[in-house]
């Protein structure tokens, strides 16, 4: 199972027959109807918007090696490669539209059933769908930060600056990897010009948490607190391979808070889940809303 060797899922049993799936949906609806749901979402919630995930159904190894913090900060060539590929790849993410899954989560929040959404995604689609209390655990591709003065600026402004610095540059995108990483030929990358912070000349980094980097402690603490108050932790579209999200599932399990998981394929959190659902998120969450009926509100 490659990098999922520590996973303990029950893959076979999760291929539910339709009746069992319906029974499962009713059970899930019962849990959600009690309210105080905290959602923990991952890349799988955005695949129906055309943004690829990392691991896919089998939990197999990544198709693309993501940039690490150490590589990014340690090498000018790595930064050039990152920004050249991201300059084109970001458009793909920025153009993506929320899907039924994001909309259903926002609707559950609007109905007062969901009290908070922890997303591991950096695409902003949950907010675009009308999500309010969204914690971007791994930041957002929409913002850029200076590694020297710490100032955060908009990605759109950087996009204009990069375009201006690379007027004569063009490249052919052969594929889009997760996190807005467009695949380009090495020769194309070599002639790309990177720009630095306008204020201090420092290095710019997207305001996302790279692999090898820690999520700011205050943000982690906020997520622990949110999870600790939850009546249900609902995991949507995450393999939970990354400890960063998985730790909240462990936290909930330790506190006896029920965990439900909707994900195509195994997750590392399956052993902690009261309900697991192996099905596509858009249709499943839409069916869940229908099962809950119109305008159900949590009795608080």
Ligand X SMILES: NC(=O)c1ccc[n+]([C@@H]2O[C@H](COP(=O)([O-])OP(=O)(O)OC[C@H]3O[C@@H](n4cnc5c(N)ncnc54)[C@H](O)[C@@H]3O)[C@@H](O)[C@H]2O)c1
Nearer Cβ to Zn ion (16/196): 196
Number of residues that bind ligand X (CB under 6 A): 31
Which of the choices ligand X, Zn ion, none does residue 146 contact, using the CB cut-off of 5 to 8 A by kind?
Zn ion
State whether residue 285 is helix, strand or coil. Answer: helix
197 makes contact with Zn ion (CB under 5 A): yes
Measured CA to CA, the distance from residue 275 to residue 27 in angstroms comes to 8
- Smallest gap from Cβ 277 to ligand X, in A, equals 9
Q: Is 133 a catalytic residue?
A: no
Which of the choices Zn ion, ligand X, none does residue 57 contact, using the CB cut-off of 5 to 8 A by kind?
ligand X
- Smallest gap from Cβ 198 to Zn ion, in A, equals 8
In the bound complex, which residue of the shown chain has the CB atom lying closest to ligand X? 44
Q: Pairing relation of β-strands 275-277 and 175-177? A: unpaired
For ligand X, the binding residues in 85-124 under the rule CB under 6 A are 120-123
265 makes contact with ligand X (CB under 6 A): yes
Strand arrangement, sheet containing 204-208: 152-154, 139-146, 204-208
Q: Which long-range contacts (CB under 8 A, 24 or more apart) does 186-193 make?
A: 188/84, 189/80, 189/81, 189/84, 189/85, 190/80, 192/80, 192/83, 192/84, 192/87, 192/166, 193/162, 193/165, 193/166, 193/169
Number of residues that bind Zn ion (CB under 5 A): 7
Which of the choices ligand X, Zn ion, none does residue 166 contact, using the CB cut-off of 5 to 8 A by kind?
none
Among 4, 47, 176, 233, binds ligand X (CB under 6 A): 47
Residue window 226-245: x/- pattern of binding to ligand X, with contact defined by CB under 6 A: -----------xxxxxx--x
Q: Look up tokens 């759109």; give the residue.
A: 156
CA dihedral (200, 204, 208, 213) positive or negative: negative
49 annotated as belonging to a binding site for a ligand: no
Distances in Å between the Cα of 87 and the Cα atoms of 158, 184, 262 are 9, 11, 33
Measured CA to CA, the distance from residue 120 to residue 98 in angstroms comes to 15
148 makes contact with Zn ion (CB under 5 A): yes
Counting Cα atoms < 13 Å in the Cβ hemisphere of 30 gives: 9
Q: What are the φ and ψ backbone dihedral angles of 256, each rounded to 5 degrees?
A: 75, 20
Nearer Cβ to Zn ion (11/203): 203
Binding-site annotation, residues: 120-123, 146, 149, 197, 200, 237-239, 263-265, 281
Active site residue ranges = 138
The site for ligand X (CB under 6 A) is made up of: 42-44, 46-48, 51, 53-57, 120-123, 138, 178-179, 237-242, 245, 263-265, 280-281
């Amino acid at each position: 199972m490659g990098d999922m060797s520590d996973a303990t899922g029950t893959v076979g049993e999760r291929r539910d027959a339709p009746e069992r799936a319906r029974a499962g949906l009713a059970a899930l609806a019962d849990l959600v109807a009690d309210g105080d749901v905290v959602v923990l979402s991952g890349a799988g919630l955005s695949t129906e918007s055309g943004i690829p995930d990392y691991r896919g159904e089998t939990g197999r190894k990544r198709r693309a090696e993501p940039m690490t913090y150490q590589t990014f900060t340690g090498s000018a060539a790595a930064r050039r490669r990152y920004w050249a590929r991201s300059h084109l790849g970001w458009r793909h993410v920025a153009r993506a539209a929320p899907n039924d899954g994001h909309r259903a989560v926002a609707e559950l929040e609007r109905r007062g059933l969901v009290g908070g959404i922890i997303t591991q995604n950096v695409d902003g689609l949950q907010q675009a769908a009308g999500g309010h209390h969204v914690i971007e655990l791994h930041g957002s591709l929409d913002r850029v930060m200076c590694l020297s003065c710490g100032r955060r600026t908009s990605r759109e402004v950087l996009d204009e600056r990069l375009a201006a610095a690379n007027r004569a540059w063009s490249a052919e995108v052969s594929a889009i990897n997760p996190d807005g990483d467009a695949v380009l030929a090495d020769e194309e990358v070599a002639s790309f010009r990177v720009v630095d912070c306008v204020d201090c000349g420092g290095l710019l980094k997207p305001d996302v948490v790279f692999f090898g980097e820690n999520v700011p402690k205050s943000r982690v603490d906020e997520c622990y607190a949110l999870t600790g108050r939850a009546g249900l932790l609902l995991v949507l579209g995450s393999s939970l391979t990354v400890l960063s999200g998985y730790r909240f599932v462990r936290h909930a399990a330790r506190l006896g808070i029920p965990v439900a998981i909707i994900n195509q394929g195994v997750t590392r959190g399956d052993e902690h889940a009261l309900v697991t659902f192996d099905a596509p998120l858009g249709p499943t969450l839409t069916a869940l809303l229908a099962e809950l009926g119109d305008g159900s509100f949590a009795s608080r």
